Structure 1
């Protein structure tokens, strides 16, 4: 099985090492110092008290890898439009595209029964260019739970989690998704195939849409945002608004709102990825995590005053920090 990891940073690198150990033919596609270190010294993964070093094929040029059976895209959402032409070079006639990206995906409405079927989400796919370059018929949706970080170029520490949920947008248990699940399980990962992948996507997004922007605005950790009564109230209000939007689109939430918030509190004094990006001067995932949710709220006619307020504030905070470039 030929698998490319496009964006082989922390999560992509962790996944790639595990798949390589399971016997898959894996190509890491990366750039910069991390790529050079992987080429020279291999990829070192520290996980569960063990350290392993592997020597995969590494490149910055997708054309060198050629068509794949599966391409995992583990970029941040705002990087996808720029990377799409390169990703397209990895697609053969039957290549499946596995999108391990936070937030509302560009393919969200693909094949979805109802009045919005095949609608483009402008916040994450301006002009529908992703839809054309990376046809959603190729997509296997995924929800990624592991936490990892690149502690130095070529060295990845796996912090927690081993589940990556998979799902076809049409809910089918296709041969391609079942084959992928099998090899991921052989790699020591939990890889359940769900018929309603959007439900699970929303459970993760539910917290991210509130806690990430609030952390960027306040500098607070997840623990404080989820336990300080005034901050928790703001997050909860945003989540209530988002739940109404999701349910209007047919989503079923299998856990309660306060249970979701409590799960966030249990993560502890952790900085969200959006706060870390702000502190490091990197582009922030504002549109995928909150902008697209507000767009969906406008689409289904649900008021979202708290989400709209926080969205305006965090966009301006990012602009002032040079972390929200104009599109």
Structure 2
């Protein structure tokens, strides 16, 4: 990242992408957004409307569906849903130059999990999220900085976003080094009013988010429950706790150091309030569910170390049925 103005691009303008773009634009920086369809039209017409703990904001960004028009970027955030990543990459080639830093802002187990990990599976591909190796082959992993995003944003319309909780993002190099580019990225995000941290153990933080997603997203699709209900109602909390324990076993098998005590974890989840998970929002819109990255990939990692996850597997089965038979979603919903 040179001293000339940073060329920053957000690819994917859902709730998280728009939040990130808006916060960065509020620092006075020029922000490019790669988007399509109704979202692109909304961005070009109205910019981004963001309501967060710091107030109501309206920012303008440069939005396009033409990567050549936007040109090579210094910093590229991939804010698409995990299932869309492999189809997005061929369209954004012109955004990525020899020195571009690429930050995938995605849920679940990332395709890069075993790259530079240093364990016995180092270099393995996570089949569930990169079955044909297209992502690994298309994107030079040395350009990638991993990140874990703790942002609960909801989008009521294209480029209109609301969030009631604090922002937090943790960044880490895939090989766990603390590098100058990592610190530059952290400082940039911090300057945008987002709590940002650089770590030399990104996978620890990743497991925290994986477990948060796994205990809430699939069950929210089946039940329509909010975070407050999933972690707060006694019977629902019991289910979340079993899933939590199954996932913690897998995390431990991969030497992740997690300081998550279950009671505190449940209390924190409940304190998020009546938030509808991102997967439930997708389900309500009839969009594909991120079950592969958030659920199936965890089962894949569990199988590699011979850990069964029977309850997690059952909940994923139910969520997948709901996703594949959306006409059932009216039943039991209020």
**TM-score normalised per structure 1:** 0.93
Higher mean C-alpha deviation, range 13-22 or range 68-77: 13-22
CA RMSD of aligned residues (A): 1.9
Q: Give the superposition deviation at 1:242.
A: 1.0
Instruction: Identify the residue that residue 111 of structure 1 maps to in structure 2.
Output: 116
Per-residue CA distance 1:282-324 (angstroms, 9 max, x = gap): 111111111100000001111111122222222222122289x
Distance 1:165 1:68 in 2: 21
Instruction: Identify the residue that residue 284 of structure 2 maps to in structure 1.
Output: 279
Per-residue CA distance 1:53-108 (angstroms, 9 max, x = gap): 33221101222111111100111111112112123331100111101111101101
Contact 1:199 / 1:251 at 8 angstroms: preserved in 2? yes
Q: Give the superposition deviation at 1:276.
A: 2.3
Instruction: Identify the residue that residue 77 of structure 1 maps to in structure 2.
Output: 82
Instruction: Identify the residue that residue 203 of structure 1 maps to in structure 2.
Output: 208
The residue correspondences of 1:148-187 to structure 2 (distance < 5 A) are: 148-187=153-192
Distance 1:187 1:73 in 2: 18
Instruction: Identify the residue that residue 240 of structure 2 maps to in structure 1.
Output: 235
Q: Give the superposition deviation at 1:29.
A: 1.1
Q: Give the superposition deviation at 1:221.
A: 2.3
Contact 2:165 / 2:272 at 8 angstroms: preserved in 1? no
Instruction: Identify the residue that residue 10 of structure 1 maps to in structure 2.
Output: 15
Q: Structure 2 regions of 5+ residues with no counterpart?
A: 1-5, 329-334
Distance 1:50 1:154 in 2: 16
1:317 to 316, 319, 322: 322
2:295 to 266, 290, 295: 290
The residue correspondences of 1:182-261 to structure 2 (distance < 5 A) are: 182-261=187-266
Distance 2:160 2:212 in 1: 29
The residue correspondences of 1:44-123 to structure 2 (distance < 5 A) are: 44-48=49-53, 50-123=55-128
Deviating above 6 A after TM superposition, structure 1's stretches of 4 or more consecutive aligned residues are none
Higher mean C-alpha deviation, range 236-245 or range 262-271: 262-271
Per-residue CA distance 1:227-264 (angstroms, 9 max, x = gap): 33332222211111111111111101112122212211
Instruction: Identify the residue that residue 332 of structure 2 maps to in structure 1.
Output: none
1:138 aligns with 2:143: yes
Q: Partner of 1:281: helix, strand, or coil?
A: coil
Q: Partner of 2:133: helix, strand, or coil?
A: helix
Distance 1:158 1:266 in 2: 14
